[in-house]
Structure 1
Amino acid sequence: MSNDPVLNTLFLPLAEGAIDWPANGPALFLRARTGDVLDDISRDRLVYEQSFKPAHDALMRAGFHMHEGHASAELTLVLPPRQREEGRALLARAIQETAKGGIVMAAVSNNEGAKTIEGDLKALTGNISSQSKNKCRVFWATVDDRADTALLAEWLKLDAPRKIVEGRFTSRPGLFAWDHIDAGSKLLADHLPRTFKGKVADLGAGFGYLSDEVLTQNPGITHLDAIEAEGRAVEMAKLNLATHGDRATVHWLDATKALSDTYDAIVSNPPFHVSDRADRHDVGKAFITSAANALTSGGQLWIVANRHLPYEETLEASFKHVTVAAQNNFYKVFKAVGPKVTR
Structure 2
Amino acid sequence: MPAPYDAPLETLFLPFSASNLRWPQGPVLFLRARDGWPLGEHATASQLVCAQSFRPFAEALERSGWEVRSEQVLEESSERYPLVLVLPPRQRDEARALFARALDLVAPGGQIVACQSNNEGARSGESDLQQLAGLGGKLTKNHCRTYWTAPQDGSHDEALRKRWAALDAERPILDGRFHSRPGVFAWDRIDPASALLVEQLPATLAGRGADLGAGWGYLSAEILARCPQVTALDLYEAEARALALARRNLAGSTAQLGFRWQDVTAGIDGRYDFIVSNPPFHTPAREDRPDIGRRFIAVAAEALRPGGQLFMVANRHLPYEQILNESFGKVHVAAERDGFKVIVGTRGGRA
Whether these two folds match at TM > 0.5 is: yes
Q: Is the 8 A contact 2:194 2:219 kept in 1?
A: yes
Match of 1:103 in 2: 111
Match of 1:3 in 2: 5
Measured in 2, the distance between the counterparts of 1:280 and 1:76 equals 30
Q: Is the 8 A contact 2:271 2:303 kept in 1?
A: yes
In structure 1, which of residues 167, 179, 188 is the aligned counterpart of residue 188 of structure 2? 179
**Aligned to 1:283, what secondary structure does the other structure show?**
helix
Shift of 1:246: 4.5
Match of 1:121 in 2: 129
Q: Is the 8 A contact 1:27 1:75 kept in 2?
A: yes
**Aligned to 1:242, what secondary structure does the other structure show?**
coil
RMSD: 1.4
> Which aligned runs of 4 or more in structure 1 are off by greater than 4 angstroms?
339-342
In structure 1, which of residues 75, 87, 90 is the aligned counterpart of residue 95 of structure 2? 87
Match of 1:36 in 2: 37
Change (3 A) 1:81 1:234: same
Shift of 1:239: 0.4
Match of 2:59 in 1: 57
In structure 2, which of residues 320, 330, 339 is the aligned counterpart of residue 330 of structure 1? 339
How many percent of aligned residue pairs carry the same amino acid?
48
Measured in 1, the distance between the counterparts of 2:144 and 2:179 equals 35
**Aligned to 2:24, what secondary structure does the other structure show?**
coil
Measured in 2, the distance between the counterparts of 1:2 and 1:119 equals 29
- Which 10-residue stretch deviates more, 56-65 or 251-260? 251-260
Measured in 2, the distance between the counterparts of 1:291 and 1:46 equals 37
CA distances 1:51-81 after superposition (whole Å, capped 9, x unpaired): 0001001100010012453410110000000
CA distances 1:188-242 after superposition (whole Å, capped 9, x unpaired): 0011111111110000000000000011111111100011110000110000001
Q: Is the 8 A contact 1:90 1:156 kept in 2?
A: yes
**Aligned to 2:193, what secondary structure does the other structure show?**
helix
Shift of 1:44: 2.1
Q: Is the 8 A contact 1:126 1:148 kept in 2?
A: no
In structure 1, which of residues 122, 126, 146 is the aligned counterpart of residue 155 of structure 2? 146
Measured in 2, the distance between the counterparts of 1:113 and 1:170 equals 26
**Aligned to 1:194, what secondary structure does the other structure show?**
coil
Shift of 1:340: 7.3
Q: Residue 91 of structure 2 aligns to which amino acid in structure 1?
A: Q
Shift of 1:312: 1.2
**Unpaired runs of 5+ in structure 2?**
none
Are residue 47 (structure 1) and residue 82 (structure 2) matched? no
Q: Is the 8 A contact 2:28 2:82 kept in 1?
A: yes
Q: Is the 8 A contact 1:125 1:144 kept in 2?
A: no
In structure 1, which of residues 259, 262, 265 is the aligned counterpart of residue 271 of structure 2? 262
Match of 1:284 in 2: 293
**Unpaired runs of 5+ in structure 1?**
none
